[in-house]
């Protein structure tokens, strides 16, 4: 799925190819999608944001058209964040703003910790910090976010199960975590997601993303418990989402940030898909 007015690029960074779309002019803004999506998530918001920003929308490694290395360690949020800072430098930007939904939000959080001089403003969408979720896992969270532990099982068990009917599994993901109907999603965006997740390499890449969360990201976050994001931060969350039911989402982030504001968007976890107008309004108000 093309993003109107944007050019598509395939950039090789330290041996890893990252696919992205780039458009607009102005202060640089990086938009990161989550699971189980691609950069098509931003197809309707990015052109509007490009009226005032140079917008770059990549596929995370393991997702979409980007490279899908086999090593689990290659999928840590730290490695993914390094991809994105290198991508922005490739386009001439040492400092930039970033917004990320779901896994993209976790990559953006790690980026803000590891490269605080690069990130000028940060928006994370519908997540609590990885360490917060895993360190004191509650029954209601485990039930809602079972996929974290299913996808993290050794290869090829989850890949085989998902590959039997990838649409059925990933549709169940889209319709969970706050509830939605497939009709709430744009048909063209859904087609783009399906084209990506039907690829066995993408299934493996997304599983490796979750494997790395347990084997690498938790330890990275545990080592950084006392570190805070120092740039202005916006926390957005779905008003009817699983995270809002389980946590006081703003409170979870307040202790992690020195300058934070928060707001809810109508809908569940996938509100950037199902409520793009409200999401765009919130992003414009923060980044403009």
Q: What is residue 70's predicted lDDT score, i.e. its pLDDT?
A: 97
Q: Is residue 95 part of a domain?
A: yes
Q: Cα separation of 151 and 204, whole Å?
A: 9
- Residue-level pLDDT at 49: 98
Task: State how far the Cα of 77 lies from the Cα of 173, in Å rounded to an integer.
Answer: 21
The pLDDT score that the predictor gives to residue 179 is 75
Q: What is the DSSP string of 124-142?
A: EES---HHHHHHT--HHHH
Pairwise CA distance, residues 42 & 60, whole Å:
13
Pick out the chain residues at pLDDT < 50. Answer: none
Residues near 70 by Cβ (< 8 Å), separated by ≥ 6?
204, 208
Question: Which one of 147, 220, 269, 273 is the catalytic residue?
Answer: 269
pLDDT digits (tens, 9 = 90+) for 109-144: 999 999 999 999 999 999 999 999 999 999 999 999
* In a domain? residue 2: no
**Containing domain of residue 116, as a range?**
7-287
Query: Are 22 and 49 a contacting pair, CB within 8 Å?
Result: no
Is 243 a domain residue?
yes
Number of domains in the chain: 1
- Alpha helices for 91-217 (secondary structure H): 103-114, 130-135, 139-144, 147-151, 157-164, 166-175, 187-197, 200-212
DSSP state of 91: T
Task: For residue 22, tell me if it sits in a domain.
Answer: yes
Backbone angles phi, psi at 240, to 5 degrees: -110, 20
Domain membership flag for residue 89? yes
Task: Report how far residue 266's alpha carbon sits from residue 184's, in angstroms, rounded to the nearest whole number.
Answer: 12
**Would residue 1 count as lying in a domain?**
no
Inside any domain, residue 131: yes
Q: Is 90 a catalytic residue?
A: no
CATH code of the domain in which 191 resides: 3.40.50.1820
- Tell me the three state secondary structure of residue 229: strand
| Three-class SS state of 277 | helix
Predicted confidence at residue 180, as pLDDT, reads: 81
Q: Does residue 4 contact residue 47 with C-beta atoms inside 8 Å?
A: yes
Which is catalytic among the residues 59, 102, 217, 273? Answer: 102
pLDDT of the residue at 272:
98
Distance CA 272, CA 41 (A): 7
Q: What is the pLDDT of residue 69?
A: 98
Is 150 part of a structural domain of the chain?
yes
Catalytic residue at 53? no
Query: CA–CA separation, 66 vs 60, rounded Å?
Result: 6
């Amino acid at each position: 799925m093309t993003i109107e007015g944007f050019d598509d690029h395939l950039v090789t960074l330290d041996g890893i190819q990252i696919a992205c779309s780039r458009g607009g002019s102005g202060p640089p803004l990086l938009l990161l999608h989550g699971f189980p999506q691609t950069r098509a998530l931003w197809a309707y918001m990015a052109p509007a944001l490009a009226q005032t920003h140079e917008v770059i929308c990549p596929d995370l490694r393991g997702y979409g058209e980007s490279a899908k290395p086999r090593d689990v360690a290659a999928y840590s949020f730290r490695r993914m964040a390094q991809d994105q800072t290198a991508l922005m430098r490739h386009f001439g930007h040492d400092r930039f703003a970033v917004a990320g939904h779901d896994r993209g939000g976790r990559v953006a959080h790690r980026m803000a910790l590891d490269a605080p001089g690069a990130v000028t403003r940060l928006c994370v969408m519908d997540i609590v910090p990885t360490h917060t979720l895993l360190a004191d896992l509650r029954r209601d969270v485990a039930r809602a976010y079972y996929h974290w532990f299913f996808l993290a099982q050794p290869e090829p068990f989850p890949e085989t199960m998902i590959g039997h009917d990838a649409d059925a599994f990933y549709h169940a993901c889209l319709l969970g975590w706050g509830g939605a109907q497939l009709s709430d999603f744009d048909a063209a965006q859904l087609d783009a997601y399906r084209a990506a997740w039907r690829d066995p390499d993408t299934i493996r890449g997304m599983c490796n993303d979750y494997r790395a969360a347990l084997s690498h990201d938790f330890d990275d976050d545990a080592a950084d418990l006392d570190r805070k994001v120092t740039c202005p931060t916006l926390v957005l969350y779905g008003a009817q989402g699983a995270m809002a039911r389980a946590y006081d989402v703003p409170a979870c982030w307040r202790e992690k940030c020195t300058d934070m504001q928060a707001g809810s968007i109508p809908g569940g976890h996938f509100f950037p898909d199902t409520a793009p107008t409200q999401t765009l309004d919130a992003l414009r108000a923060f980044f403009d």
